[in-house]
Amino acid sequence: GPREGYDNLAPALERIAAQTDDGPCVTYIGPDGAGHYVKMVHNGIEYGDMQLIAEAYDLLKRLGGLSNAELADVFDEWN
């Protein structure tokens, strides 16, 4: 949306955003529709990650013969 709207809300957004060493995890994305595009790209990456986790679980369970407790340990270590 409009940069002016972001600028008005930025102080509040920065206070509630997750923080890293580089600062708050919030920024202006761009004009109308830009945020939707960023969300679409993010979702595509996230859904790919979730599918990879599901495939790894299935392979370890079916072919590797791991129990649920063993799988929990593996995924805990990977996380």
Q: Which residues are catalytic?
A: 39, 46
DSSP state of 5: H
Shortest CA distance to 74 belongs to which of 56, 47, 51?
56
* C-alpha of 48 from chain center: 11
